[in-house]
Chains A and B, each alone.
Chain A
Amino acid sequence: GQSLEQPSEVTAVEGAIVQINCTYQTSGFYGLSWYQQHDGGAPTFLSYNALDGLEETGRFSSFLSRSDSYGYLLLQELQMKDSASYFCADYNAGNMLTFGGGTRLMVKP
């Protein structure tokens, strides 16, 4: 089966950098996606890594190491609006998306 592990909660201050880790055990793994969800809202797509290395999109970057079954989301120059839950999700050979338990990020002033 598919299994993704991420920390349940992370706290950081405005302007700082935070890294949210994700380890996975999946079959037919294609790549790792990241989604953001604000309270009361729907998950929205942030990034996708199919290959090893770092993908950068503005203040957000995502990294994947297939050999280590590990990835992370890096958020720089944190803003209060970044307070949300962040989910890693594996995209597999069946074109399915299976989500981890989510990491609640709290940004403090």
Chain B
Amino acid sequence: DARVTQTPRHKVTEMGQEVTMRCQPILGHNTVFWYRQTMMQGLELLAYFRNRAPLDDSGMPKDRFSAEMPDATLATLKIQPSEPRDSAVYFCASGWGRAEAFFGQGTRLTVV
């Protein structure tokens, strides 16, 4: 049963700390998305990779956020330093470059 795996599922951290979220896309998928979901903003696209190359990160605050794909089985999203306004659910999704994307269960981040 192929699925997108995200770790950790929950993270509580103090303001100013570094946060790293990880995603294992479905084997064979060539596109990976990072989304942030809050009640106010819905699902915001933060970053998008195709064949491990970053194609769009215009939705990501560049001063504190970074997204990478060190290899085909791992995508990471880092926040440094974290702020309370970063509290949200962060979703990773992967696909074959078509309209159907498969989402992980998300990382619920709370910054206090």
A63 in contact (CB, < 8 A): no
Interface bits A17-46 vs B (CB < 8 Å: 1, else 0): 000000000000011010000000111110
Whole-angstrom CA separation of A41 from B31 in the bound complex: 21
Contact partner of B45 (CB less than 8 A), chosen from A42, A50, A87, A96, is A96
Whole-angstrom CA separation of A101 from B41 in the bound complex: 7
Closest Cβ–Cβ distance, residue A13 to chain B (whole Å): 26
Closest Cβ–Cβ distance, residue A25 to chain B (whole Å): 16
- Listed in ascending order, the chain B residues whose CB lies under 8 Å from chain A are 31, 33, 35, 42-43, 45, 48, 50, 55-56, 91, 93, 97-106
9 contacts between A and B (CB under 8 A): A33-B100, A43-B43, A43-B93, A43-B103, A50-B99, A97-B33, A97-B99, A99-B42, A102-B42
* Extra contacts besides A94-B48, A96-B48 (18): CB < 8 Å: A33-B100, A42-B91, A42-B103, A44-B103, A45-B99, A45-B101, A87-B42, A91-B99, A94-B56, A95-B31, A95-B97, A97-B93, A97-B99, A99-B35, A99-B42, A99-B45, A100-B42, A101-B42
